[in-house]
A and B are shown apart, each in its own frame.
Chain A
Amino acid sequence: MKKSVLFILSLFMAAGFFSCNNSENSKNGDRGALASSAAEKTYVAPGEHDEFYAFISGGFSGQLSVYGLPSGRLLKVIPVFSQDAEKAWGYNEETKPMLNTSHGFVPWDDAHHPDISQTNGKLDGRWVFINGNNTPRIAKIDLTTFETTEIIEVPNSAGNHSSSFVTENTEYVVAGTRFSVPVPQRDMPIKDYKGNFKGSLTFISVDPEEGHMDIKFQLMMPGFDYDLSHPGRGKSHGWFFFSTYNTEEANSLLEVNASQNDKDFIAAVNWKKIEEYVNNGGGKTMPANYAHNVYDEDTHTATSTMKKEVLVVDPLEVPGAVFLLPTPKSPHGCDVDPTGEYIIGNGKLSADLTIHSFTKMMDAIENEKFDGEAYGIPILKFEDVLAGTVKQAGLGPLHTEFDGEGNGYTSFFISSEVVKWKVETQEVIDRKPAYYSVGHVMIPGGNSAEPFGKYVIAMNKITKDRYLPTGPEVTHSAQLYDISGEKMELLLDFPTIGEPHYAAGIPADIIKPNSKKIFKLDENKHKHATLNNGDARVERDGNEVHVYMTMIRSHFTPDNIEGIKVGDKVYFHVTNHEQDYDVPHGISMIGANTSELLIMPGQTETFVWEPKQPGVWPFYCTDFCSALHQEMQGYVRVSPADSDIELSWSLGED
């Protein structure tokens, strides 16, 4: 009797388990208990906040995305190099100048490597810098508004890839060219590349208060490809390290011809020495043409200035400033550990990681342990600068980040894994697969003196089956690993935008308190702002009509306009009179050949409408703002070009 009860009981318990947990079992396969703890580690309860911000490059979208970690939730997409109709970036009159270049208006770029500003080698959370790879530019994003406030074009550069990394006190943001080019640009045979093209490494100074960028000097290096770079820190502060490939200087079929040499170089640049040289009148100014675009938060308006010259420095004129460290084999990532002692060359075409020692490098320089020179630049002896090698850790090492506990985390593209290794001993501790073909990895602060070694994210080039299929194109995937223990643990997959080349993470507490909630109406200095509602009006100046409009829940002032004619160019200067957090209003006009405006509280923005037909044409608020949002609309009467209807405007019975 007893037995049968027990038997039935256990039968039912088992049945109960199976029937209730079916779906979970099929989803998580054999991970079982582990999966539930991973879920707990990434779960951020409704209404609660993530622990870290991750600024993840949008790659070929041209933008910068903001994610929360550990949840992997997308918080914002900040428009940087590409027009964004949602936010009117590059569409409204105020931000069009931000995308101006020496080639004219360029509505897109390929965004690559975000880096957060630092003070004393630690993340200070003031700005994020990111490079446009295609039409060389560096952008600065202000982390009080999460808006792009400055973009500087880089002359004499092409494929702006070994960028945009900051020095220990954000003295400089550095931009290196990937493709060498004729400097200055000129009409010449491509086959004459070798010995004639130049590679420019650009040091852009950053104003410590306002963050304004200015090219301090360009170092004109031999015509190699400068792939990636990182600053020295701590003991190596004052130096900058650039990886190179194509030291063969091939101009065609690089896939083969740039992979001939057993070793390429990491170029070590003593920027302090060059800075001193330049401050004492060194270098040569050469004619140039590049745009410097600045967005002013008070006027809510950007201006673009064309700069006409740049200071260039020949490395041979500053002895002791530049050395080449032989590094196998077409190294990609060039990373410096938190102490500043180790410079890691990620072999790419070699299975090994090469670890150079800064101390040994300084000793080799002092004792002139040279192994020849390239275009007059001394090459240091490989064995004399080498600290060690991580042997055969995987295939295709690309990038390394650090946890602040003495460990490096390297992505291996070909073998698709993240490998944890001890920097001092070069011993491999753990490896975990990445899904699939990981490019960059990121630990918050992982390229600073003080990393926050709790998570690493892997940003992958191939997605395949990780998400529901969405046609031939699938979003790039990222993976979050817990690295707080000895072994890494995969916690989460999340989708990204564009191709996330790199990311920069930071504890939310450093940024959160400084985040702006509104723009103050009394600080609005926009040339066409309507700060006093009684000043809302319409003015005609020949064919140009300026509408000075205000918006507040839930109406426009004015909302009826007559006397507009076909052939007019109508500027809507619209000021949002709200002064409360998260109450933007939008506006769009039927048939306007531009995007909507999305105007934050206290802000003024402008769009242009050129009416083509007589009629009565409506406009409306595009961002649901209140229970009366649907009522937030208005009309413009457009009359034939020869009409004599007077300009008039009104709201309500006025």
Chain B
Amino acid sequence: MRFSIKSLWILSIAVLVSCGGKEEKKESDEIELGNYSKKEEVTKPASSTSTESMVDMDNKGIGPVTNVELPDEIDQEMVAKGKAIFDSKCLACHKPDKKFIGPAPAGVLDRRSPEWVMNMMLNPEEMVLKDPIAKQLLIEHNGSPMANQNLTQEEARQILEYFRTLE
């Protein structure tokens, strides 16, 4: 009989646990919430980074472009095409020579590799999530996202050529 009372306790606990599944889930949700706030804290010190560290010619960014050779001579035909695309799909947010919604492209090739610039155009969603410079740029520009304008790689390359002409 004693044994049966013991087993009664064990079983009642078992029943409680099996019914309490939902509550357990709630707890794990809370843990995740905690993680989120931790992440936010991490971003704070990063926002004080000086622009100095925003120059990184070795960073090729994340995306389809892994290697771009820039010939010495600027291809004016490509420049014209690049400017036309830039004016229609980018100008709403980027003024060529001053910070607007997004940064100015003038002189960008002194700060970033050509691959990085093209990957930023072609793969902005992943770049602002993972690339350290792109993440920082998003913060500096009030969280305004770089829009994916669905450019082809060729179009991005033409815009890059146009950027070479901007001082």
A-side residues, CB < 8 A to B, are 1, 4-5, 8-9, 12, 15-16, 19-20, 518, 521-522, 531-534, 550, 552-555, 557, 577-580, 583, 626-628, 652
Asked if B36 is at the interface (CB within 8 A of a chain A CB), the reply is no
Q: Contact at B92–A577, with CB atoms within 8 Å?
A: yes
Contact check: which of A532, A553, A557 meets B144 at CB < 8 Å? Answer: A553
Q: Contact at A583–B147, with CB atoms within 8 Å?
A: yes
A-B contact count (CB 8 A): 79
Q: Contact at A522–B88, with CB atoms within 8 Å?
A: yes
Q: Which residues of A contact B101 (CB under 8 A)?
A: 555
Could you say which of B6-14, B25-33, B156-164 contacts chain A? B6-14
* Nearest CB on B from A534, distance (A): 6
Within the assembled complex, what's the spacing in Å between the Cα atoms of A483 and B148?
A: 45
Q: Contact at B12–A12, with CB atoms within 8 Å?
A: yes
Q: Contact at A550–B92, with CB atoms within 8 Å?
A: yes
Q: Contact at A580–B150, with CB atoms within 8 Å?
A: yes
Within the assembled complex, what's the spacing in Å between the Cα atoms of A5 and B4?
A: 6
Question: Quick one: given A5-B7, A553-B145, A579-B149, are A16 and B92 in contact (CB under 8 Å)?
Answer: no
Q: Contact at B11–A557, with CB atoms within 8 Å?
A: no
Asked if B89 is at the interface (CB within 8 A of a chain A CB), the reply is yes
Question: Quick one: given A15-B15, A555-B101, are A8 and B7 in contact (CB under 8 Å)?
Answer: yes
Q: Which residues of A contact B92 (CB under 8 A)?
A: 533, 550, 552, 555, 557, 577
Contact check: which of B87, B89, B144, B151 meets A626 at CB < 8 Å? Answer: B144
* Nearest CB on A from B15, distance (A): 5
- Name 28 interchain pairs, CB-CB below 8 A, sorted by A: A1-B4, A4-B1, A4-B4, A8-B7, A8-B8, A8-B11, A9-B7, A12-B12, A19-B15, A19-B19, A20-B18, A521-B88, A533-B87, A533-B88, A533-B92, A534-B87, A550-B92, A552-B147, A553-B93, A553-B145, A577-B92, A579-B147, A580-B148, A583-B147, A628-B142, A628-B143, A628-B144, A652-B100
* Nearest CB on A from B153, distance (A): 15
Residue-wise, chain B 130-153 has the 8 Å CB interface mask toward A (1 for contact) of 000000000000111101111100
Q: Contact at A533–B19, with CB atoms within 8 Å?
A: no
Q: Which residues of B contact A578 (CB under 8 A)?
A: 147, 149
Q: Contact at A16–B19, with CB atoms within 8 Å?
A: yes
> Interface centre among B143, B144, B147, by most A CB within 10 Å?
B147
Q: Which residues of B contact A532 (CB under 8 A)?
A: 87-88, 91
Contact check: which of A12, A522, A552, A580 meets B15 at CB < 8 Å? Answer: A12
* Nearest CB on B from A66, distance (A): 25
> Interface centre among B18, B100, B149, by most A CB within 10 Å?
B149
Q: Contact at A20–B19, with CB atoms within 8 Å?
A: yes
* Nearest CB on A from B162, distance (A): 14
